[in-house]
A and B are shown apart, each in its own frame.
Chain A
Amino acid sequence: MKILVTVTEIAEADDEFEIDGLSIDDRYLTYDLNEWDDYAIEEAVQVSEAGDDVEVVTATIGPERAEETIRQGLAKGADRAVRVWDDALADVDLLDSATKARLLAAVAREEEPDLILSGVQSADAAFAATGVAMAAELGYEWAAVVNQLDLDEDAGVANVHRELEGGVEELTAVELPAVFTIQTGINEPRYASLRGIRQAQSKPLDVMTPDELGVDRGESALALTSLEEPETESDATYFEGSVDETAAQLAELLHEKGVGA
């Protein structure tokens, strides 16, 4: 069995940051493995550890910088990685989910996985759409926001729980091959061991261009026109001063509200 995990590197803004044109100034960004993908990797690695002969391959759209993040996945137990990139992609301000889905589906066509796991969303753009769009592109079945996954390979189905709003879960049987978008909390992502980190350095990480994958890079249908810090709608009162002073001011407010009385 082969499992493909889509892994994205996300950009997180520092507490204080500056916007430069249509993006946050790179000096204020930290790049990291997307939290949801961390759970997707763990889920795939757990399946591979429980079965015989399960290969876990990760697929990432990203520049060379992303290789550090990709190696995190390899250190946690993925067997190999594919990175898709084309320098022209660096000029795109906002990649739409259809473009991402097309590029990742091209990797899937090469790899022919039985199962594809992606994160529910990326923490930065949060379109929450790539996984399902990729399933549609591939003609795979799918389920979004999965927080429990039980494979029944003999029956060719996966029994999943989809986490709905308000503490309700939907129980669904999904025919394989399928794409699942994985929700946080489905498992406990491991920390990479030192041995894992060492091994990751020698695991294969192939770089492919859209051309080599035989797909059109395509145009993003979304054009970024502005980026700004939202104007605060509330007029929050900030308590200022030393720690003790602010604590005293807040305590006074809470007393007024009858808290702790």
Chain B
Amino acid sequence: MSDVLAVTEHRQGELRDVSFEVTTAGRQLADATGGELALAVIGGDVDAYAGQLDVEGVDAVYTVAEGDEFNHDVYTQAIEALADDLDPQYVVAPHTVNGLDYAPAVAQHLAVPLVTDVIEFDASGGLAVTRELYGGKTEAGIDVEGDRAMVTIRPGEWEPAGGDGDARVEAFDADIDDDAVRSTVSGFEAVGAGDVDISEAEVLVSVGRGIEEEDNLDIIFELADALDATVSASRPIVDNEWLPQDRQVGQSGKTVTPEVYIAIGISGAVQHVAGMKGSETIVAINNDPSAPIYDIADYGIVNDLFDVVPALTEQFQ
């Protein structure tokens, strides 16, 4: 029971990058337990995926050829059948939208503790993990009790695994019970594109909940005009329908890599940061010195945006 099972992810014909990150995390755990690292790849063109997943550090890849796309009822059954067979000490999954659609169910069915959105772990003596609490303002050390556990890891925290592997690739018959598949995926829809493509912009003036009211957006647009920049936003602004969806930066919005990203009244939640951390220069204007945005900002002004933004605009007029 010293083995580790890591679950990979794909969508619309492509493995997602996070698959190689769970591979690295799984290898790290297996090194600590002295066991093997097995990957699970479920659905789609599993043989092609298995070939791509045969990277350094992987001992085995189990393929479950069932369906084309993600279905949580198939995933839960397949992972549970694999766990029955392999008796892994740890199961690792990505903390993605699909990961959180099956991991809690698998942990519940296997009766193992679950700890999610982990950013670091140490399995040298039992499992100790680090994850954030209080909306990213603190980091907690957590001991996971018991011998076994299921862990979901935060995307972007582990280096993707690479290199050439010599893994066994085995087709696994998970004996999926179709009657227990009680949801059906009928397709995908891309969020409509608007007239502005924020991912092409060189300078983004990005606005968050700190702006408080829709009318206050005026000062943001005035600044953007003065800077010849494009306006983007964090999720609450789009949820409130103050700006269209294609202006949203982040996990469920767009990934942007401008020369300059000015975050105004944005706290820097992980799902937001996922979409803008590749920006060349990050400037934050936020009156909360403990806001996580300052962890990745290059420059900051810790002050009231309603004072700073008009003053900055004036500098350019």
Chain A residue total in the interface (Cβ 8 A): 83
In A92-133, the 8 Å CB interface with B consists of: 94, 96-98, 101, 120, 123-133
**Shortest Cβ distance from residue B248 to the other chain A in the assembled complex, whole angstroms:** 8
Which of A54-62, A76-84, A198-206, A243-251 forms part of the interface with chain B?
A243-251
Q: What 0/1 pattern do residues 155 to 177 of A give for CB contact below 8 A with B?
A: 00000011111111111111100
Q: Is A237 in contact with B298, judged by CB distance below 8 angstroms?
A: yes
| Chain A residues in 8 Å Cβ range of B240 | 188
Cβ-defined contact, B185 with A171, below 8 A: yes
B100 touches A145 (CB 8 A): yes
Query: Shortest Cβ distance from B198 into chain A, in angstroms?
Result: 11
The 3 closest A-B pairs by CB, nearest first: A221-B113, A251-B315, A185-B239
What are 11 A-B contacts with C-beta separation under 8 Å? A131-B104, A136-B105, A172-B186, A173-B186, A223-B142, A223-B143, A237-B298, A246-B308, A250-B299, A257-B259, A259-B228
- Complex formed: what's the CA distance from A109 to B296 in Å? 46
As a 0/1 sequence over residues 139 to 158 of chain B, the CB contacts with chain A under 8 angstroms (1 = contact) are 11111111001000000000
Interface residues on B, range: 35 or more
**A residues in contact with B290, CB < 8 Å:** 13, 15-17, 229
Q: Tell me, rounded to whole Å, the shortest Cβ–Cβ distance linking A238 to chain B.
A: 5
Would you call A11 and B182 a contact (CB within 8 A)? no
- Asked whether any CB of chain A lies closer than 8 Å to the CB of B10, the reply is no
Instruction: Provide the residues of chain A in CB contact with B183, threshold 8 Å.
Output: 141, 143, 172-175
A132 touching B303 by the CB < 8 A rule?
no
Q: Which residues of A sit under 8 angstroms from B11, Cβ to Cβ?
A: 164, 168
Instruction: Given A136-B109, A169-B189, A234-B297, check contact A227 B260 (CB 8 Å).
Output: no
Please list the residues of chain B having a beta carbon within 8 angstroms of any beta carbon in chain A.
11, 69-70, 72-73, 76, 95-98, 100-105, 107-109, 113-117, 128, 132-135, 137-146, 149, 182-191, 203, 226-229, 235-236, 238-241, 245-246, 248, 251-255, 259-260, 281, 283-284, 287-292, 294-303, 307-308, 311-312, 314-316
Contact A94 B142 (CB under 8 A): yes
- Smallest CB separation, A158 vs chain B (Å): 9
Tell me which residues across on chain B come within 8 A of A136, comparing CB atoms.
76, 104-105, 108-109
| CB closest residue in chain B, given A148 | B189
Q: Counting chain B CB atoms within 10 Å of each CB, which of A225, A243, A247 scores highest? A: A247
Complex Cα spacing A173 to B181, Å: 11
- Assuming the contacts A97-B114, A163-B252, asked whether A142 and B105 have C-beta atoms less than 8 A apart, the reply is yes
A243–B108 touching, CB < 8 Å? no
Q: Is the contact region of chain B dominated by helix, strand, or loop, or is it mixed?
A: mixed
Q: How far, in Å, is B38 (CB) from chain A's closest CB?
A: 23
A225 and B134 contact, CB distance less than 8 A: no
State how many angstroms separate the Cβ of A260 from the closest Cβ of chain B.
4
Provide the residues of chain B in CB contact with A17, threshold 8 Å: 137, 290
A260 and B189 contacting across the interface, CB-CB below 8 Å:
no
Are B188 and A238 closer than 8 Å at their CB atoms?
no
Residue of B nearest to A126 (CB): B117
B residues near A208, Cβ cutoff 8 Å: none
